[in-house]
Amino acid sequence: MPVQYCPYKHNGELDLDGLKKNTEFLVDFAENGNKDVVVMTNGSTTECYANSIDEQKTVVRTVIDAVKGRIPVVAGASHSGTKETIKMVKYVQDAGADCAMVVLPYYHKPTKEGLFKHYKAISDATDIAIMVYNNPDVSGTLVDPQLMKKISEIENVVALKDNTPNAAEYAWKAALIDSGDMALLAGYGELHYLGAAAYGYKYQGYVTWIANFAPNISYPIYSAVLQRDFIKAQQALEKEMPLWALPGKFMCKRESFSIIPSILQTNYMYMSVGKAAMELTGLSGGHLRAPLEDLTAEERDEVRKVLRETGVIQ
């Protein structure tokens, strides 16, 4: 499940032609060999937080129109309050998305009952499938396995993008949640997917930033796990590791003042690396919107070197 980057022009405006090109690239990859690919857009990686509501709607509509129903589309539809979230979910439903991804309410943190009622209200007000986005770094909260089981039983709530860093929580969710109620996805991508999938293959897929520009090295991890060949999957993952090393290396040069515990933090240099990689592979990335930082020229050269080492570019 590639979560898309949002390309911007040099003047900062949305690059809709670039977004269409990036989307077509993913659809072409999916159709070549009938691969199991779902496009996710208007998520954190799509810089939804930095886009206006109108821009978010434009991104969603552009991607859905480009896909033309050939593969499923999950569209982010999040807000800090329930009422405004419902408005956005209704929009992506009317636009033709297959599923609406809704992050946990942020800013003021709800109680467990308030959180449950948040998703119940969305389900009651809409007809579209709903994916819960369990992301502590952006919401300041983390849904435990018992509460997630309760949420999974809400009608229309069909999937979980799980950004928990705790392997035990993967195990408990796999044990408690009926796969007929909720599809479980590793939100942190390939690195967590192998471990999570090992729990009875209850985690059936993963969200990935690398597949936006290098699906040929990301997809073999999924296909190996599909065959229950975890040794082969680990070998495929090792081919990706030089790309995963770059955000950590680049973050070490910078200072973070986040008060979120480090185990729950996301290293957002993956955004900078991914956008640079999009450009270097002939796709559309553009700059990051403030307050995130683009890579330096030297760092871009390092990305180019790793893309060559991993066979993504010549």
Q: What is the CATH number of the domain that holds 122?
A: 3.20.20.70
Number of domains in the chain: 1
Amino acid letter for position 223: S
pLDDT recorded at residue 31: 97
Structure tokens at 295: 């890579």
> Is 170 within 8 Å of 203 (Cβ atoms)?
yes
133 catalytic per annotation: yes
Cα separation, 25 vs 23, whole angstroms:
5
Q: Which residue out of 149, 161, 173, 202 is catalytically annotated?
A: 161
In-domain check, residue 185: yes
Distances (CA, A) of 83 to 105, 175, 218: 11, 33, 37
In-domain check, residue 22: yes
In-domain check, residue 303: no
In-domain check, residue 267: no
pTM: 0.96
How confident is the model over 5-21, as pLDDT tens digits? 999 999 999 999 999 99
Integer-rounded Cα Rg, in Å, for the chain is 18
222 catalytic per annotation: no
Q: Which residue out of 5, 8, 91, 133 is catalytically annotated?
A: 133
Average pLDDT of every residue of the chain: 96
In-domain check, residue 117: yes
How confident is the model over 97-115, as pLDDT tens digits? 999 999 999 999 999 999 9
In-domain check, residue 266: no
In-domain check, residue 24: yes
How confident is the model over 229-279, as pLDDT tens digits? 999 999 999 999 999 999 999 999 999 889 988 888 999 999 999 999 999
Domain that holds residue 149: 16-229
Closest listed residue to residue 46, CA positions, set 140, 138, 116, 164: 138
In-domain check, residue 247: no
